[in-house]
Amino acid sequence: MSILVVGSVAFDTIQTPFGKAEKILGGAATYFSLAASYFTQVRVVAVVGDDFGPEQEEVLRRRGVCLEGLQRAPGKTFHWGGEYGENVNEAKTHFTELNVFENFRPEIPSQYRGSEFLFLANIDPVLQAQVARQMSGARLVGGDTMNFWINGKRAELLQTLKLVNILLINDAEAKMLAGETNLLRAANQVLAMGPKALVIKHGEYGATIFFGDSGFGIGRHPFRAPALPLEEVRDPTGAGDSFAGGFMGYIASQGELNREVLKRAMFYGGVMGSFAVERFGPERLQNLTREEIDARFQLFRELTHLE
Amino acid sequence: MSILVVGSVAFDTIQTPFGKAEKILGGAATYFSLAASYFTQVRVVAVVGDDFGPEQEEVLRRRGVCLEGLQRAPGKTFHWGGEYGENVNEAKTHFTELNVFENFRPEIPSQYRGSEFLFLANIDPVLQAQVARQMSGARLVGGDTMNFWINGKRAELLQTLKLVNILLINDAEAKMLAGETNLLRAANQVLAMGPKALVIKHGEYGATIFFGDSGFGIGRHPFRAPALPLEEVRDPTGAGDSFAGGFMGYIASQGELNREVLKRAMFYGGVMGSFAVERFGPERLQNLTREEIDARFQLFRELTHLE
C-alpha cells in the first residue's frame, strides 16, 4: 500500500567531527521517502527551486519514489546549514534559508488522494492540517513537529494533533508539548491531545511507543525498541525522519494494524535511523538491500531479546 | 551461592518533590543487600556508629542478610543529606558526614572468605582493592565507582579495575573514565582497563552490558535491558545499587555464568531498580515477594520483546 509524505525536500550544508558536506540533498521528506522506499510505494508532496537538478531527483526516483507532487517554484531550494559537535544530539544551526519553502502551499495531485497512509513531516502545523483534511480517507496519519511550532504555533498545532493518529517526536519535544518533566506523564498528556499513539525517540537509547485510551484496541502497555550502539555517528542529520520512514513504511507494507505490526515497525524505525547516521546525508539510505535491513533488524533483536 | 558486599551502610536525609525523610536507613551496601536478598545469601562488610540501632539491623536481618561483617565503631554513622528536583537524575548534596566511615578498614570475617561472589560497592578504590585481594578465591567480582574517585584517585582506581570482572557505572562515569564522548568507544576503552564486562546504566532508558575481548567466552555483542517508564519516581536514591543487587544476586543464584544468565541478570537489575524508586529509601525493597519480582520481569519482557 502507498504512503504519501508532505515535508521538506532541501539542501543541507553540514559539518560534523567527521567532515563537511556542502549543499547536499536533504530535507525531512527526502530521508523519510528513502527509508520508507524499502517497504512500500512512496509519494512526495514538496517544493523545490530552480537549483534542484535532475541528479537530485534521480536519487529519489532510483528508489521508486513518485515525484509527481514535487512542485517547482522560481527561486532557490530550502537550504539549511548546521554543525554537530562531539555531542551529536545537538545541532548548531548556521543558517536557515527558507527560499521557495516560505510560500509552500501543499497541493495533493488527484492520483495521490487514494494513498492509504499519510505522513506529515515537520512543517507548519497549519499546512499539516490542510493536507490532513485533503486526505481524510487515509487509514492512518503519522506526524512530526518541533520546538519551533510547539512554542510558536501552539494553538494551531493542537488543532493539527486532533488529525494525527501517531505522533513521532523526541523526549525534549514531548516534555515541552506537555509542560511536564516526567516522560510517562508527558506521554499521557500528549495522548490526551488527540493521537492514538505517541512514539518518543530517545536518540541513542532507542524509542518508546505509548498508547492512548482510545488507541488501536491493543491495550495501553508501552513498547520500547532499542537503538544500536555505534562507534561512529558520522552525521545525525535525518535520523528521526529515517526512523519515521522505516516505522511508517513497514506499517504501510502490512495488511493489518495490530500490536505486533507496531512493535516490529518500532524496530524497523530504529534500524533505518541507525543506517542513516553511518554516512553523510542520505548516502547510506540510497543503496541498501532488504537483506541488509533484515540482518540489522536481527541484530536489534539480539541486542534486547532473552531466549 | 553466597555473595559478599563491601560498602556503605548509612543514614540518608532525602528531599524529593514527593516529600522529605530524615535520617532513614541508606547506603550502597544496604540497597545492594536488600535487592540481592531475593536471589541469594548476602553477607555484608561495612561499618556503623553508636547511633545505628537494632531496628536498622533488623531491616537487613529480616531479609536473611548476614551482618557478622558489620563493624561497630565509636562515633556516628555515615550520614548523607541531599535533594532531587524535577530532574530525578541529578542529586544536589546538602551534606556528607563521613563519621565512622572515614576510618573504615574492611575486615573479612573468616567464615566469609569462601563467598563465591563479591561486590565492591562505591568506596575508595584502595579499600576495594584490599578486599578483592583478600577474596582472591571469588568466582566473580563486581564493582562500582563514581566521579569522585575517577577524578581524585585515578591511578588507584585503574589498579582496582584489574581486579574487577564486571564494572557497573552510569553513562557519565563511563565517559569520564574513558575520556570519550561516544558511549561505545568509551565502553571499549573501559574494557581495556581490565573488566571482562561493563554494565553502563542509562537511568530511565535502561542499561547496556558490553563485553571485552577477554570476556566470558560468550562473544562481544552487547545486550540492552530496559527500564520501566514510571509516572512517579518518589526517590531515586539507591536505584543503581539496587540494580547491582538484582544483577549480581541473580548471577549468584545460577549454577553457571553464560550469556543467557547475564542477559536475565540485566533484566533483574532493572526490575530491582524500578522497585527501589517507587518509595522513599529502601522501603519498597523490604517487603517484596519473588512473585512480584517475576511479574515485573515479565512486564519488562513485554515492554521490549517481539513475538
**Nearest-CA residue of chain A relative to B204?**
A183
Secondary structure of B240-285 in the HEC alphabet?
Answer: HHHHHHHHHHHHHHCCCCCHHHHHHHHHHHHHHHHHHCCCCCCHHH
Asked if residues A35 and A126 have their Cβ atoms less than 8 Å apart, the reply is: no
Indicate the helix (H) or strand (E) that contains A283.
helix A283-286
Model pLDDT, residue A87: 75
Residues 239-298 of A with CB under 8 A from B: 260, 263-264, 267
By Cβ distance, the residue of B183, B229, B230 closest to A204 is: B183
Residue B57's Cβ-count burial label (10 Å; 0-12, 13-18, 19+) is middle
Model pLDDT, residue B214: 72
Nearest to A273 by CA among A231, A233, A219: A233
Cα–Cα dist A66/A46, whole Å:
12
C-alpha cell at A229: 550502539
Model pLDDT, residue B268: 98
The answer, yes or no, to whether residue B218 has pLDDT greater than 90, is: no
Interface probe with A: pick from B262, B298, B304, most Cβ of A within 10 Å: B304
Interface confidence, given as ipTM, is 0.92
By Cβ distance, the residue of A184, A229, A305 closest to B183 is: A229
Cα–Cα dist B163/B140, whole Å:
10
The alpha-carbon gap from A99 to the nearest alpha carbon of chain B, in Å, equals 36
C-alpha cell at B182: 561516544
DSSP character at residue A51: T
Q: Is A226 on the interface with B (CB under 8 A)?
A: yes
Cα–Cα dist B228/B230, whole Å:
6
Answer whether A233 sits within 8 Å of B181, measured CB to CB.
no
Answer whether A301 sits within 8 Å of B306, measured CB to CB.
yes
Give the pLDDT mean for B23-37: 98
pLDDT grade, residue A284 (50/70/90)? very high
Q: Sign of torsion, CA A283 A286 A287 A293?
A: positive
What's the helix, strand, coil split of chain B in %, to 5? 40, 25, 35
The answer, yes or no, to whether residue A215 has pLDDT greater than 90, is: no
Asked if residues B276 and B284 have their Cβ atoms less than 8 Å apart, the reply is: yes
Task: Let me know how long chain B is.
Answer: 307
Instruction: Report the alpha-carbon angle A295-A207-A169, nearest 5.
Output: 125
A303 contacts in chain B (CB < 8 Å): 221-224
Beta bridge partners of A80: A12, A96
Model pLDDT, residue A32: 98
Q: What is the pLDDT of residues A57-90, one digit of tens each?
A: 999 999 999 999 999 999 999 999 999 987 777 7
Q: Is B192 on the interface with A (CB under 8 A)?
A: no
* Percent of chain B whose pLDDT exceeds 70: 100
Phi, psi of A72 (to 5 degrees): -115, 135
**Nearest-CA residue of chain B relative to A262?**
B306
Give the pLDDT mean for A116-136: 97
Mean of all residue pLDDT scores within chain A = 95
The alpha-carbon gap from B240 to the nearest alpha carbon of chain A, in Å, equals 18
Asked if residues B84 and B235 have their Cβ atoms less than 8 Å apart, the reply is: yes
Asked if residues A144 and A167 have their Cβ atoms less than 8 Å apart, the reply is: yes
Q: What is the pLDDT of residues A166-192, one digit of tens each?
A: 999 999 999 999 999 999 999 999 999
Taking phi over 0 as left and psi of -120 to 50 as alpha, with beta for the rest, A228 belongs to beta
The alpha-carbon gap from B1 to the nearest alpha carbon of chain A, in Å, equals 23
Q: What is the pLDDT of residues B72-121, one digit of tens each?
A: 999 999 999 999 987 777 789 999 999 999 999 999 999 999 999 999 99
Task: Let me know how long chain A is.
Answer: 307
Three-class DSSP category at B79:
strand
**Predicted TM-score of the model (pTM):** 0.95
Q: Is B172 on the interface with A (CB under 8 A)?
A: no
By Cβ distance, the residue of B204, B224, B230 closest to A304 is: B224
Interface contacts (A, B; CB < 8 Å): 85
B174 contacts in chain A (CB < 8 Å): none
Answer whether B223 sits within 8 Å of A260, measured CB to CB.
no
Model pLDDT, residue B203: 93
